[in-house]
Structure 1
Amino acid sequence: MSAEMITKENSEVIIKLAVDSAEFGKGVDKAYKKLRGRFNIPGFRKGKAPKKVIEMNYGKGIFFEEAINIVFPDAYEKAVKELELDPVAMPEIEEVEQVEDGQDLVMKVKIAVKPEVELGEYKGVEIEKKEVSVEDEQVEKDIEVKRENNARYINVEDRGIQNDDMTIIDFKGFVDGEEFEGGAAENYNLVVGSNTFIPGFEEQLIGASVGDELDVNVSFPESYHAENLAGKPALFKVSVKEIKFKELPELDDEFAKDISEFDTIDELKADIKKQLEEEAKKQAENEMKNELVEKIVEAATVEVPEVMVENEADSMLRDFEMQLRYQGLDMDSYMKYMGKNRDELKDEMKEQALKNVKRSLVLEKIYKTEGIEVSDEEFEKEIEEMAKTYNMEVEKVKSSLRPQDMESIRESMLVKKAVEMLMDSAKIA
């Protein structure tokens, strides 16, 4: 195998790739063994005809195409290493210049590679310091959330439903006089005023008492996800089984003792303020890092190949689909609800995909230029932290990681170290 670079224009390389005749001959033999069962030759059982006989009947090059498919991957991999290329997509055979029995196989191959990055100013870049402050109102808001989380619901017998009450109801829904799928439930917990149901449903429950049966008339929104119900009037027959009101705990020292390790409400508030300040500082630091990296990326020059943007958009689309699954949704239902298809959704992601790729290329150029590395000890420590996060044994985490996963982790660590180096050198005004 030999490889020669013919042209290189930023992110596109054309190479001449030659596979020696002996190696190509082995590929032809493998192609014959793979395909011989497809040929019917008179006088021979199917799959038993000699290679030469098949070639006499179908032409000398009958096995060449499959032979090229067989020998190309290994030859391409060696060429990439020999020419020190960094491909970002599958190669394309532009032309087979020579393919003859007993001769070398010669091909022109087009390869999309990572583009050259010309860095602008990246050290000593000026960014604005983000001031951090936590107001008493934020502390009070956090306290109220804790009160809500520790509220209890008490049964009500002597009055009708009020806003914020929790009700337990049975209901059946009808459209055009017929029950519809998914429109019925028993012992359903509903907080009135939570806007969980169709607009107008919860308001019509106010005033109803335990044991009441009532008709609730609503209309499905025009944008409702189920097309057969969108915009249609519906009748729900509702039976009220229980009413409960929410009782918030008193905001006193006992409350602090119940939900924390502190003895007083003042100590609890002080701790909440400290935590909020730490979170605010982290957020401010991340915002400063993002601002810094954006400036450095803007100052760099790089022509991002379309294939890299396409690949990143595909990756973003897969991640989005996984997030939907975690939320109990599926992509098809989401797209139907939004009135979009996968291609439209992907197109919307391309602008951010381009930013992501350019950012990645620039930061990679920086950590390579600066000679930033990740030691084996640092990598081991990262794996140990992952094991703690997922509550797994370190060896189990290691065994679950593929080589590309390990490489991705190392790359993330390199990027993180590069950003820290940039922050250390930045001028914070």
Structure 2
Amino acid sequence: MQVTETLNEGLKRSYTITVTAAELDAKVQEKLVEAQPEIEMKGFRKGKVPLAILKKQFGQRMIGDAMQDAIDGAMKEHFDKSGDRPALQPEVKMVDGETWAEGKDVVVEMTYEALPPIPEVDATKIAIDRLVVKASDGDVEEALKNLAGTAQSFDDRKKGSKAKDGDQVTIDFKGSVDGVPFEGGTADDYALVLGSKSFIPGFEDQLVGAKVGDEVSVNVTFPEAYGAAHLAGKAAVFACTIKAVKEPKAAEIDDELAKKFGAEDLAALKGQISERLEAEYNGASRAVLKRALLDQLDGLVKFDLPAKLVDAEAAQIAHQLWHEEHPEEHGHNHANIEPTDEHKSLAERRVRLGLLLAEVGRKAEVTVTDAEMTQAVLAQARNYPGQERAYFDFVQKNPQVQQQLRAPIFEDKVVDHIVAGASVTDKEVSKEDLQKAIEALDEL
């Protein structure tokens, strides 16, 4: 077997791999010997069929497997010896593949881009601020009021009062399209909070100002993307009878409220809220710190990038942003989206930082534990209530999904590793300042 270099330019590599006819024949023979003990044929005991007969019977179909094994072996040996790590799966094609015949040498061309040598990162040259926000009494009180709002009750308004936005109205309604009632369009004693946007757009607005006893005809149009296809885009009329109008009443902020949310008393609830708020602030602060770190790394380390890796990332970015700008398009039956210079610039940054963090993690022997993966899967499974078991099975059978879950955990651990060696200054700021820093991340 012979491997001959035909291109070595920058990160681009190309080699021809030659597997002689004799080597291929030996590989077929090896596979036949391996399979012989399990083969039965008429006139022979199991495992006793002569190799010559086996080769005549099965040799042709084993050539393909033998050829693949030989090429894979040559590629592995090449990468072991050269130390090259391909950026993407190498392209392998047969030379004169259409004219190859049994008994001839097999010659294939292998082409790839090698991962570049990546300079060491000197974490001591990195200086970043860590924004620190403490949960103030005002923040806790505001959160308490919001919590009380979720536990609100509704009391009847005075007789003759008009319904306001935020009130709860009890209604009977009958819906029809072109004068014909439709399934699911009728209900009695339905409690609806005006402004909750739980009904078709425009429905709740038309009940504002209604009083108990009023008959209101609500005219609406079902959205084009409505779940029931026979109603999508149709104009409908709902005949509504107002049976009660109730105003919201926030829950009292006291020990009883605390117990509703699983706390022993109000002081304990305030402590829980303070911890939750600071956890949220810490999460936001980490996002700001991580961006600052990546910005510095991007300017600190430069190296050649595999062009195909950048092109693939730019195409992915362009495609993703296009769908964000066209949320109505759920499929991929659209014209080709050509990446812009901005997409390519962002792709270069992502590829550079991705390769850098991967190399730092490799050298630092950063790993993602089974326990961390399990936590990640559990977190995702919560998005599929009632189907958690099916999601677990789906992840187990899909290495690509496993990698998608593992990648951000690995990246965060590498970031922590670099931050541990950097100069980090805690800087106490207000909640508003932290919010501005978070908003600035989206503008970059």
The normalised TM-score by structure 2 is 0.63
Instruction: Structure 1: give runs of 5+ residues left out of the alignment.
Output: 30-63, 322-330
Query: Does the CA-based 8 Å contact 1:170-1:186 persist in structure 2?
Result: yes
Residue 274 of structure 1: aligned partner: 275
What CA distance in whole angstroms lies between the structure 2 residues aligned with 1:19 and 1:114? 27
What CA distance in whole angstroms lies between the structure 2 residues aligned with 1:180 and 1:346? 50
| 2:3 maps to 1:9 | no
Instruction: Structure 2: give runs of 5+ residues left out of the alignment.
Output: 30-59, 80-84, 383-387, 426-444
* CA 1:417–1:386: 2 relative to 1, 3 Å: closer
Query: Does the CA-based 8 Å contact 1:94-1:110 persist in structure 2?
Result: no
| 2:407 maps to 1:422 | no
Residue 51 of structure 1: aligned partner: none
Mapping of residues 26-425 of structure 1, within 5 Å: 73-84=68-79, 85-89=85-89, 91-93=91-93, 95-96=95-96, 99-118=100-119, 122-154=123-155, 158-159=159-160, 160-167=162-169, 168-172=171-175, 174=177, 177=178, 184=185, 186=187, 190-197=192-199, 200-210=202-212, 212-217=214-219, 225=225, 235-240=237-242, 243-263=245-265, 265-301=266-302, 302-307=304-309, 309-310=311-312, 334-336=327-329, 341=334, 344=337, 355-368=349-362, 371-374=363-366, 379-382=369-372, 385=375, 400=396, 414-425=410-421
The normalised TM-score by structure 1 is 0.65
For each residue in 1:145-170, what CA deviation from the matched residue of structure 2 results, as whole angstroms up to 9, or x when unmatched? 21122223456794443321233452
Q: CA RMSD in A?
A: 5.0
What CA distance in whole angstroms lies between the structure 2 residues aligned with 1:78 and 1:181? 67
Tell me, what secondary structure is at the counterpart of 2:111? strand
* CA 1:192–1:287: 2 relative to 1, 3 Å: same
For each residue in 1:75-99, what CA deviation from the matched residue of structure 2 results, as whole angstroms up to 9, or x when unmatched? 4432332222435146152743884
Q: Percent identity?
A: 23
Query: Does the CA-based 8 Å contact 1:256-1:262 persist in structure 2?
Result: yes
What CA distance in whole angstroms lies between the structure 2 residues aligned with 1:182 and 1:116? 66
* CA 1:9–1:410: 2 relative to 1, 3 Å: farther
Residue 20 of structure 2: aligned partner: 20
Shifted more, 336-345 versus 196-205: the winner is 336-345
Tell me, what secondary structure is at the counterpart of 2:132? coil
Letter in 2 for 1:96: D
Structure 1 residue 125: deviation in Å?
Answer: 0.8
Query: Does the CA-based 8 Å contact 2:24-2:67 persist in structure 1?
Result: no
> How many corresponding residue pairs?
371
* CA 1:406–1:186: 2 relative to 1, 3 Å: closer
Query: Does the CA-based 8 Å contact 2:90-2:111 persist in structure 1?
Result: no
What CA distance in whole angstroms lies between the structure 2 residues aligned with 1:15 and 1:363? 29
What CA distance in whole angstroms lies between the structure 2 residues aligned with 1:353 and 1:132? 33
